[in-house]
Amino acid sequence: MSEQSFLLPLSRRRVLQAGAASALMLAAPRGGAAPLQPGETQSHGLSIFGNLAEKADFKAFRYVNASAPKGGTLVMEPPGGTGSYDSLNAYILRGNPAAGMGLIFDSLMSGSLDERDALYGLVAESVLVAADKLTYTFFLRKEARFHDGSPLTAKDAAFSLNILKTKGHPTIAQSLHDLVSATAETDDILVVKLAPGRARDLPIIVASQPIFSKAYYEAHDFEQTTMDPPLGSSAYKVGPLEPGRYISFERVRDYWARDLPVNLGQANFDVVKFEYFGDRNVAFEAFKAGSFTVHEEFTSSVWSKGYDFPAFREGRVKREEIPDENISGIQGWFFNLRRPAFKDPRVREALCYAFDFEWTNRNLMYDAYKRTTSYFENSDLKAMGPPGDAEKALLEPFRDRLPAEVFGEPFRPPVSDGSGQDRNLLRKAVELLTAAGCTRKDNVLHLPDGKPLEFEFLDFSNVFERHTQPYIKNLKLIGVNARIRVVDAAQFKQRLDDFDFDVMTERLRMAYSPGEELRALFGSEAAKTKGSRNVFGISDPVIDALIDKALVATSRDELAAICRALDRVLIAGRYWIPHWYKPTHWIAHWDVFGRPEHTPRFDPGISSTWWWDDEKARKINFTGR
């Protein structure tokens, strides 16, 4: 599935109590400055809620092999599996960026794959937080370097935050809206000031942004697409590439931060390479032939029936399901509310009744999936049953602006008889369309303005065609004309950025502890912002108000209640036809890798924690790399 959205870090810091000076004798900030003032804290990391899992003296994350060998090549498909790229600048709206560009940039702090709400020191060794939580002072490591050997300083970090806010991709710029200033006090001290009422996760967003070289961008235009590899500072740098075919990243052998706790046992491959294919079936055949080494499967028919080939039967290719504890993501057919045809929620709901998930799951997907029914599926943030007291308190002030169902059981997509053409559900669809003022003549459904209800499913791959065509057939039975249009990846991105589509197939990620991305996905301002993740065009003051509350929630329980209330309002809007999910990753790989004993909770850890095993490769006579 296409995941072209920028994945913003989610989480906030753990506030170490000022009284815990004995545990922190970080209690006097670096550089011999004055002791901490009342209410100030200094720590090796930032966290949204509760304590950091790792102590200040941790040596490495529990899910890595700290002594993992280095070497070999990891070859994968890019996220989405198909398409191409025309730019190495992944942080602006223009262009279709290459996969993996985040591999070359360091950030102030780095995340743990076992925690969704925490960051630990990378370029910044520690951070001092003011009593009002509006000023964050980052103390940078003096040994930090860019790949050309030049120092990475607070001036570079300040430059990066400021240019991302003013000229970066709209999704990033919006997330930094409440960043007041970022200034270099000295070469190794960065002071960041935030606006009152700022989003709860803004410190984490700030600390996770890529750090660019200020000197490099004094000679290069940040706002332009480019095929020149930018100057980075992380464990990898851009290697050989060929647009339309592949891009590779080479390990930086003298990487300045390779032995830090946040990096130990990671970035183990000499080369990480993304191979581009125009078709997923072609990509799978390439995997079977050994052209690349790891394949994440998203197609149930292939997972169930496609592994009857020699390398798999001989045990040279392995297949496994790895648990996924993330919120499942929002996948489905998204309505573009900017189109007049989709203004009435009764029309949108009627179209939902024409999709037979049960038939699709059994006949096309081997009953491998569960139906998605929530914007926060596979989590404690999902609305279930009637609202509890905390949810009622949040929703009650808006009762006169909300459908009655918000205060009862949340709407669930209809369950069909599995025939593929459930007459009762199609009859319900017609009733809803009639109630919305639609009329039918010569088997063509007309909207109240007299125009026929017809639309286009936009995609950049034909992978969902076999799911969409039976749905189109059912739509035809109720007088709705629909068709599929597949365009190349660049055109798809352009049309998506311009909101130039009727209905699109997409999957959007949702954070474990949602914060600023709620505004990016569902906020009214984002609905008007070209290139934003609010592809639906949702613009509702009630939703905005609930998002504002979510952004400043101070506990997980409070956030959960707000998200469940928000879920009810979003569900009542009928903004999409939800697809399906599974709480595991389907991973196939050639048996040439070593792996740590523990798998991280929120990621398979393939590119970060696995390593190349020469002995295994020789044993199976693997020659594909």
pLDDT in tens, 283-306: 999 999 999 999 999 888 899 999
Q: What is the C-alpha to C-alpha distance for residues 516 and 6, in angstroms, rounded to an integer? A: 12
Q: What is the C-alpha to C-alpha distance for residues 20 and 39, in angstroms, rounded to an integer? A: 11
The two structure tokens encoding residue 194: 């935030």
Contact 228, 88 (CB under 8 A): yes
Q: What is the C-alpha to C-alpha distance for residues 558 and 552, in angstroms, rounded to an integer? A: 10
Residue 56 falls inside a structural domain: no
Q: How many residues does the chain have?
A: 625
What per-residue confidence (pLDDT) applies to 404?
96
The domain total for the chain is 1
What per-residue confidence (pLDDT) applies to 625?
53
Conformation bin of residue 332: beta by default, left when phi > 0, alpha when psi is -120 to 50: left
Mean pLDDT of 426-455: 97
Q: 546-558, pLDDT tens digit by residue? A: 999 999 898 899 9
Conformation bin of residue 616: beta by default, left when phi > 0, alpha when psi is -120 to 50: alpha
The neighbour count for residue 543, using CB atoms within 10 Å, is 20
Task: Kindly report the CATH number assigned to the domain that includes residue 431.
Answer: 3.10.105.10
Question: Helix, strand or coil for residue 602?
Answer: coil
Residue 489 falls inside a structural domain: yes
What per-residue confidence (pLDDT) applies to 34?
63
What per-residue confidence (pLDDT) applies to 388?
96
List the single range of 248-252, 323-327, 406-410 with lowest mean pLDDT. 323-327
What per-residue confidence (pLDDT) applies to 32?
46
Q: Which of 489, 487, 493 has the alpha carbon at shortest distance from 535?
A: 493
The two structure tokens encoding residue 94: 């223009």
Domain assignment of residue 412, given as a range = 330-580
Residue 226 falls inside a structural domain: no
The two structure tokens encoding residue 458: 């936009």
Q: If you ran DSSP here, which 8-state letter would residue 471 be given?
A: H
Q: Which of 277-281, 282-286, 356-360, 600-604 has the highest mean pLDDT?
A: 356-360
- Burial of 323 per CB tally in 10 Å (0-12, 13-18, 19+): exposed
Q: 164-211, pLDDT tens digit by residue? A: 999 999 989 999 999 999 999 999 999 999 999 898 899 999 999 999
Is the pLDDT confidence value at 59 over 80?
A: yes
Is the pLDDT confidence value at 1 over 80?
A: no
Residue 370 falls inside a structural domain: yes
Half-sphere exposure of 71 (CA within 13 A, CB side): 11
Q: What is the C-alpha to C-alpha distance for residues 394 and 503, in angstroms, rounded to an integer? A: 32
Residue 603 falls inside a structural domain: no
Instruction: Share the mean pLDDT of the chain.
Output: 91
- Burial of 525 per CB tally in 10 Å (0-12, 13-18, 19+): middle
The two structure tokens encoding residue 388: 């509890």
Q: What is the C-alpha to C-alpha distance for residues 77 and 83, in angstroms, rounded to an integer? A: 10
Q: What is the C-alpha to C-alpha distance for residues 505 and 499, in angstroms, rounded to an integer? A: 13
What per-residue confidence (pLDDT) applies to 80?
67
Residue 134 falls inside a structural domain: no
The two structure tokens encoding residue 525: 């301002």
**Chain centre distance of CA 239:** 25
Q: What is the C-alpha to C-alpha distance for residues 568 and 480, in angstroms, rounded to an integer? A: 28
CA distances from 230 to 29, 102, 104, 214, 267 (A): 34, 11, 9, 12, 20
Secondary structure element (H or E) that encloses residue 76, with its range: strand 73-76
Q: What is the C-alpha to C-alpha distance for residues 113 and 563, in angstroms, rounded to an integer? A: 23
CA distances from 559 to 144, 260, 390 (A): 36, 33, 11
Residue 456 falls inside a structural domain: yes
Contacts of 533 (CB under 8 A, 6+ apart): 5, 6, 171, 508, 517, 520, 521, 526
Residue 72 falls inside a structural domain: no
Q: 482-525, pLDDT tens digit by residue? A: 999 999 988 999 999 999 999 999 888 888 889 888 999 999 99
